Structure 1
Amino acid sequence: MSVQKKELRSSNRGARNRIPAFVENQRGVKNWQEASAWLEWRGIEDIECITPDQAGVARGKMMPSKKFTSNTSLALPSAVFMTTISGRYPEDGNGFVYPEDDGDLKLMPDLTTLSVVPWETDPTAQVICDLVNQDGRFVEFTPRNVLRRVVEAYAQRGLKPVVAPEIEFYLVRKNPDPDYPLEPPVGRSGRAIGGGQGYSIAGVNEFDELIDDIYHFSEGQGLEIDTLIHEEGAGQLEINLRHGDPIELADQVFMFKRTIREAALKHGTYATFMAKPIQGQPGSAMHIHQSIVDIKTGQNIFTGEDGEETEAFRHFLGGMQRHVPGALIMLAPYVNSYRRLTQAASAPVNTKWGYDNRTVAFRVPRSDPAARRVENRIPSSDANPYLALAASLACGLIGMVQKEECEQPVHTAANEDAIDLPRGLLEAVELFEQDDALREILGEAFVTTYAAVKKAEFETFMEVISPWEREYLLLNV
């Protein structure tokens, strides 16, 4: 950094008492005037204007901060939000038509998400953007707008969802050759990390410096971690976020994934959110805790005045039980996701519910009546957080609107008998396309686009010959 820039930043900091307090906010401003002051006070040089694609990958543009605040029009091709995880394009059909003109979609910065990029060496900021058509209408098939559509469906009924995600992930050794299996990393002890370290403080301490950077990077962006633990897998960690608004929490998960990957790379390792990255190790989930609040009263509608469960609570569960199989493709979006969902494990393949029962799909944790909530244990950590939250909340809302009755709670192990969920990607896509209630709440444009993308991803997967096929078929068939 030049001497002049250092002097500018020093001068800006020296003027703290003469400028509004909002410039010291780690995250978010109210308007463009505040944004200009916020950027200038920090000496920000570049802005990353980002938005999640269907996979939850950050797409966007980088520009000088002066250009960002000069009413510059930003746009991305619509094709960016119709591509598969490998960068291919789906075929037309079943309602999906690839736009021939591949026109632009406008990026609208959400200034409440403005924050620094703490891992960059030059002063850099980032902002999450919404996508709108040229006439200003929100683009229906982009993930942040899909979640917004579901949240607005609640608001139309005087309700507000409250969510709290829990995200599991693995730290693994760097692996530039995808033909080789992933391996656990080496911790500060100098030995490869082993499994069976659930809630182990020593397991967390193996990665002290890396975790310190996760905390520092998070604090620099105004992201708040509730707790961090070591999970059962070798090098598997979990971060829990505080409950709040679904869009804000989806934004946080989106940013946390970037943050954790960057912190891991700084320490010579990978962080992966694959659902099942290592054979023989547990999969990684993104559990979602959900409750619904009456906007007028601020009360949790899952609990009545007498402290007991309400009809809304039971109908929410009924909607989850009936419609989550159709929404599974949004909760388990890749071929690899279905390797995590197995019988006799805490990654459920059922649609049962129960009290503090980790073998069911929908767990009701022990809590005070005011904090009554439903934990959806099906989503995997590879899911796009916007789409996972949209799918889960949509199923619950359908249940409440249609007054779906839930089954009786399960008090025993529930994951060893019947399989209630699709066992593969194509089966999940088929159920997704058949669920008319989901189609209505999520939007036709999204359903057709997302289904087409998932079918194309499956066809790409089928082009790859696996080690299992070479081992058992090469000389035996």
Structure 2
Amino acid sequence: MTLSPTGSPTDEAQSFLDAHPRVEAIDISLADLHGIGRGKMIRRHELAGLFREGRGMPASLFAQDIEGNDVAGAIATQDDGGGDSLCWPVAGTLGRQPNGRGLVLLQMFGPDGAPVPHDPRGAMMAQIARARGMGFQPMGALELEFYLLDAAGGPARAPMGGRRMSSTNCMSVDELDEMSPFFDAVYAAAASFDLPLETLISEYAQGQFELTLRYRDLARAADDIVLAKQILRSTARRFGMRACFMPKPFAGRSGSGMHLHLSLTDPCQGTNLFADKDGVTSDLMLQAIGGVRGAMAETMLVLGPTLNSWRRLEGAIYSPAANSWGYDDRNVALRIPGGSPASRHFEHRVAGVDANPYLVAAVILGTALDGLETRADPGPEASAEGAPSLPQSWAEAIAAFAASDRMRRILGPDLQIALAAIKRHECARVADHVTDIEWQLYADL
């Protein structure tokens, strides 16, 4: 039986409890505007009630800065007096964590049963519903790049042999073997969530790795990233390590991105509508790329939400900051990978690993659908010509996002205003901080 507006069946809770008789507590987690999990730890006997009745939490969670402090400009978009709204489990996201507790993701709904307008997952689901109304089923996958560090912030030591990850070792299979006890534990935890972690790569810097995830329904693909990051963090703690999702934790080393692969299928036949036709790229996919390119400047705050995001985009290896597209070219923002013509899709390569996957999915899908509605021209290949220039800084990105009618329509006015207010607050706080390099360069002037 299903009572939840997310479609989560009530028997999912009992099936989990039967399969895990020793689990005594479950983390219930709502992704805020930063993608940070906010929620509660409930006891075993409370889980069935969550699935039957939901659980109250304040929508003010979506008006908090990255440290959990309320931001006045974001709170002003809410009129519920600080009361609770009902959160419901997201179907298929209940599993057992490496820490021995359960975990389930949530989405928030108002008293009328409609998604709370500030919830980023709700914004994504609205664009997925829009796509379905146009006759499309969005499909996707997100790649996850990250660093494994020790407690002091340096490269981690391998569980096998204790060697510090001190050289680049890009695509080294020996390095993967040295780290295998950690990743074996990650894969084991992922299996509990039916989380389709696939290829593992030693990436382009000391202690940097990439995990790819299976291509599937876009909503599940975004949920997959939220779950994968939580599993990686929890497992890393138990190995004396820290999973770092900063996009540019070290100057002079490779940044960490979160590339989104996207296509549209026929919801009845399941066929890929972006597939090549007689050896020619689909007009539908080119129009989608045109829509994404035309709005990229306005989406950059979602793709690069922190000051550290912009460090990754400033001089980056394989981290495109130009509004460009091309075939199988990792230097462009929007890449059409090679491979089977039947599985053709595009890869959006701009978002940093710090971005909220729900908001990333919402704005990329939303602007792609705009491109289909207007039959947008993608412009010349491997060029930013014909598209608006991109913001050159975090502050410019905040201003472009806040002024965007497209973002207001795609994300809703409350979410847009709240996110812009939070990021202005964060930007001002960072600007007010005197850095060590300023002391080094200017203290003796």
When normalised by structure 1's length, the TM-score is: 0.86
- The Cα shift of 1:232 comes to 0.6
Of residues 36, 48, 53, the one that matches 1:69 is 48
Residues 117 and 409 of structure 1, relative CA distance in 2, 3 Å threshold: same
Alpha-carbon separation, structure 2, partners of 1:465 and 1:399: 43
Q: Note the 1:25-174 alignment, pairs <5 A.
A: 31-43=9-21, 44-70=23-49, 71-92=52-73, 97=77, 99=79, 101-120=81-100, 124-174=101-151
Answering whether residue 403 of structure 2 is matched by residue 429 of structure 1, we say no
C-alpha contact 2:261 2:347 (8 A) present in aligned 1: yes
Amino acid aligned to 1:138: P
What letter is aligned with 2:111? Answer: Q
Q: Is the CA contact (8 Å cut-off) linking 2:54 and 2:89 kept in structure 1?
A: no
In the aligned structure 2, how far is the partner of 1:296 from the partner of 1:329? 35
Distance 1:29 1:216, change over 3 A: farther
For 2:15 and 2:176, the matched residues in 1 are separated by 39
Change in CA separation of 1:82 and 1:34 when aligned onto 2, cut-off 3 Å? closer
Cα distance per residue 1:399-435 (max 9 Å; x no partner) = 111221111212xxx79xx994222222101111222
3-state SS in 1 of match to 2:270: coil
Say which of 216, 228, 231 aligns to 1:259.
Answer: 231
Show CA shifts across 1:55-93 (max 9, x none). Answer: 111111222232232445511112111101022232338
Map 1:454-465 onto structure 2 (within 5 A).
Answer: 454-465=423-434
Shift of 1:45: 2.5
Unaligned regions of 5+ residues in structure 2, if any?
1-5
- Aligned-partner Cα distance in 1 for 2:114–2:368: 27
- The amino acid that maps onto 2:37 is A
- 2:245 is the alignment partner of 1:286: no
Whole-Å separation in 2 of the counterparts to 1:428 and 1:320: 16
Q: Give a deviation string over 1:101-121, Cα, whole Å, max 9, x none.
A: 21212111234322222422x
SS at match of 1:238: strand
Matched residue type, 2:108: L
* Equivalence for 2:198: 226
Aligned residues between the structures? 434
Which of the residues 151, 161, 185 maps onto 2:156? 185
Secondary structure of the 2:147 match is strand
CA, structure 1 residues 108+140, in 2 after alignment: closer, same or farther (shift >3 Å)? same
- Which shifted more, 74-83 or 298-307? 298-307
Report % sequence identity: 29
Residue of structure 2 aligned with 1:269, choices 234, 238, 241: 241
Equivalents in 2 of 1:112, 1:100: separation in Å? 30
Unpaired runs of 5+ residues, structure 1, are 1-27, 176-181
* Counterpart Cα distance in 1 of 2:92 and 2:161: 42
Q: Once the two structures are superposed, what CA deviation does each residue of 1:201-225 show, in whole Å capped at 9, x if it has no partner?
A: 1222232211121111112322121
**In structure 2, what is the equivalent of residue 471 of structure 1?**
440
Deviations 1:336-371 (A, max 9, x none): 000000246310110111111111111111122211
Deviations 1:126-155 (A, max 9, x none): 221110112222112111111101111101
Shift in Å, 1:261: 0.9
| Pairwise CA RMSD | 2.3
Distance 2:388 2:321 in 1: 5
Question: Any conservation in 1 of the 2:263–2:274 contact (CA below 8 Å)?
Answer: yes
Larger Rg: 1
Q: Work out whether residues 105 and 132 of structure 1, in 8 Å CA contact, stay in contact via their aligned partners in 2.
A: yes
Equivalent residues of 1:308, 1:369 under 8 A apart:
no
SS of the residue corresponding to residue 116 of structure 2 reads coil
Q: Please say if residues 96 and 189 of structure 2, whose CA atoms lie closer than 8 Å, have aligned partners that are also in contact.
A: no
Equivalents in 2 of 1:304, 1:274: separation in Å? 36
Match of 1:243 in 2: 215
Quick one: distance in 2 between partners of 1:97 and 1:393? 25
Check 1:72–1:151 CA distance in 2 against 1; reply closer, same or farther (3 A cut): closer
Distance 1:63 1:470 in 2: 47
Q: State the partner residue of 1:22.
A: none
| Maintained 8 Å contact 1:195/1:281 | no
Q: 4+ runs of 1 displaced by more than 6 Å?
A: none
